[in-house]
Chains A and B, each alone.
Chain A
Amino acid sequence: MKYYIVDISDLNNIVWDQVRGTKDTIRYNVAKDKFLVKHEGNKPTFLNSYSSYTAEEMATILNTESNGWFVRSEDWQYWN
C-alpha cells in the first residue's frame, strides 16, 4: 500500500476506482486544503506529481499535530 498527500485542487482528478476509499470518506487535513489517497499496485498517472509514503511514514505524519491533520482540544488529556 502506498499513501499520498494530495492538494485539494486535484480532488476532481482522482479516479476513485483506482484508489482505496471514496470521495465521501477520504481523510482531509484540518485546513481542508489537502487529503489522503492510498492505493495498491502501479502508481496511477494522476498521482505522478506526488511523493509516496509507506503506512508507517504516513502514520508519523498524521499523528504529529504540527503537520495539521488534527488539533488537540485544550483539555484533550482529560478526554482520552
Chain B
Amino acid sequence: MKGNLILKQPDYSGNNHVLNVDGNNDYMSCGATPNLHFSRANIGTHGVTINVWYYAKGGGSPGGQGPLVTIGGAGGASNDYYGIQVGVNNASAMYMHTLGNSTSPGSGFQQRNTRVTSTTVPTSQWNMITYVFTDADQYNWKIYLNGVQQALNACGFTTACGTSTTSPVYYSSPVTTIGWNGRIAGTDYIDSGYIGDIGIWKKGLSASAIASLHSVATAAPNTNGVDLLSPNVYYLQADALELAAWWRMGDPYGSDTYPWINDDWSVNGDDTRYTATMTNMASNDIVTSSLWG
C-alpha cells in the first residue's frame, strides 16, 4: 500500500459510455506507455491485472475475436511480437501473452509465455474479461469471465504455454494499442462490437476483488459502473491504490471527448496518464450502453 485513502472521483457520474468498433480497422493508440512496460521481474514482484469490458456483436466472420489490449506492441512498425497482449483467439477462447526474450521480440512460440482458456466468450452480451498475471510463472496465471475463474488449457504440445524464462517481455519503439495487435502482415483488429472500461493494475487482483467489480457493475440499474479508484466490497483500497491505467471510453462527457479517451487513473499525486486516441473512428463511435462496459 502506498498511501492514504483514495477519494472517489469528483466527477464520477456513473459509467455508460462505450466505444463502437467496426472490426475492420478501428482501434485506439496510447503511444508509448513506459509506466506500463512491465518486465518479467516487475510481474514477478507485484503481478499485473488487465480488466476489459467487451460486447461482441457476433454474426460476422468470425465475430467476437481479436486482440483487446497490447501493451508495448510494434505499432505497425514490425511483424514481430512485443510486450504484453490479451484478447480472444480464433476459437473464441481468451488468451494472455508476455512476448519476446531479453534481447529480441518474439518470433516463434518458444519466445513467449502464454495461457489460453478452454472456455469461450459469448457474443451478443457484455462480458467482463479479467487477465491476471499472478507472477512471472505462466502456470500461475488466471483468466476470469464475468467474475468467474475459467479453466485453462493444460500446457502440452498442441497447447504450448511457451518456455521462455529470460525476461520474456520485450519492448522496442513500443506503442500500446486497444483493439489492434500492431503487427504488419499478421495484423489483427478486434471484431465488431463495443469496448467498455479497461483497467490495468500493478497487482494480481484476488478472485474476490474481481467478483466484486463484476457484481457492482451489474447490479441494478446496471448503468452505474464501478469507480475503480474507490474500494467496494472485496475490491480493497490496497487494490485501488495499485491501479495503473483506466480508460472510461468517453465518460463522463460522451462524444465531446472525441478523439481522446482519457486515462482517468491518478493515485497519490502520481499523475502519469496515457491518453488513448481513437483511430479511424468518429465522434459518433462513442455511444451509450444499457449495461455499461
Instruction: Summarize B's interface: helix, strand, loop or mixed.
Output: loop
Decide yes or no whether B34 CB sits under 8 A from chain A.
no
B24 touches A72 (CB 8 A): no
Number of interface residues, chain B, beta carbon within 8 A: 33
A70 touches B62 (CB 8 A): no
Chain B residues within an 8 Å CB radius of A17: none
Contact of B108 among A58, A70, A75 (CB under 8 A): A75
In the complex, 28 of the A-B residue pairs with CB atoms within 8 angstroms, ordered by the A residue number, are: A3-B24, A20-B282, A26-B25, A27-B24, A27-B187, A38-B280, A55-B22, A55-B23, A56-B192, A59-B23, A59-B24, A59-B60, A59-B191, A62-B24, A63-B60, A63-B62, A64-B61, A69-B187, A70-B186, A70-B187, A70-B188, A76-B90, A77-B90, A77-B158, A78-B160, A79-B112, A80-B87, A80-B89
In the bound assembly, the distance between CA atoms of A61 and B125 in angstroms comes to 25
Chain B residues within an 8 Å CB radius of A77: 90, 158
Q: What's the minimum C-beta distance from A62 to chain B, rounded to whole angstroms? A: 6
CB proximity to A under 8 Å, residues B135-179:
158-160
A60 touches B23 (CB 8 A): no
Decide yes or no whether B281 CB sits under 8 A from chain A.
yes
CB proximity to A under 8 Å, residues B170-201:
184-189, 191-192
A26 touches B186 (CB 8 A): no
Decide yes or no whether A73 CB sits under 8 A from chain B.
yes
Contact of A59 among B90, B192, B279 (CB under 8 A): B192
B114 touches A55 (CB 8 A): no
Decide yes or no whether A44 CB sits under 8 A from chain B.
no
Decide yes or no whether B235 CB sits under 8 A from chain A.
no
B88 nearest CB neighbor, chain A only: A80
Decide yes or no whether B246 CB sits under 8 A from chain A.
no
Chain B residues within an 8 Å CB radius of A56: 59-60, 192
